[in-house]
Amino acid sequence: MEKQNVLSIEMLADNKPDVFFDLRNGQGTFLYNHNIKEVLVIKDKQGSIAITDDKKKSTGKMFQYDSLRVEYPKTADNIFSTLLAAKYSTKKESKLVNEYQSATLGLLDKSFKKPYEDFLRDRIKIRESVNADCGDHKIPIDNE
């Protein structure tokens, strides 16, 4: 079975998206919109949109965000595991662990440790962000 892509990154919207958006599909599926930030944009007559840092060239503001489709249940643990799996496949994570362990044993250069350490740092950052958003919206941490 082919894995469905559930993560869309750097989406743009005129209005600030809700952090949690119920898809109302009868299955408890929802969107987790995160990394939401306001950005300056340049809109041209043909409908193209470009993000800019130049306030003088900017023609307006929009919201940039990442959106994750999450299946029931609506818990921080489920959101976290879905987001982590979307960003890092099991195969990728296994490769990072194996290379880290090989470098620790001296079988590979110590530079092979860094990608796994970066993964662990990103994992912690994702967990903290998901927990904060869930706390703000009174969503439980786990299934209990």
Q: What is the pLDDT of residues 11-63, one digit of tens each?
A: 999 999 999 999 999 999 999 999 999 999 999 989 899 999 999 999 999 99
SS3 label, residue 45: coil
**12, two tokens:** 């743009």
How far apart are alpha carbons 67 and 144 in whole angstroms?
25
How far apart are alpha carbons 42 and 51 in whole angstroms?
6
- Whose tokens are 């879905």? That residue is 82
**What was the pLDDT predicted at 142?**
86
| Distinct helix (H) and strand (E) counts, the chain | 3, 5
**What was the pLDDT predicted at 132?**
98
Q: What is the pLDDT of residues 11-23, one digit of tens each?
A: 999 999 999 999 9
SS3 label, residue 19: coil
What is the pTM for the complete model shown?
Answer: 0.89
Query: Considering only CA atoms, which of 48, 60, 51 is closest in space to residue 10?
Result: 51
Residue scoring higher pLDDT (45 or 124): 124
Residues 33, 21 contacting (CB under 8 angstroms) = yes
**What was the pLDDT predicted at 2?**
44
Residues 61, 38 contacting (CB under 8 angstroms) = yes
Average pLDDT over residues 62-75: 98
Least confident of 43-52, 65-74, 78-87, 128-137: 43-52
How far apart are alpha carbons 89 and 120 in whole angstroms?
14
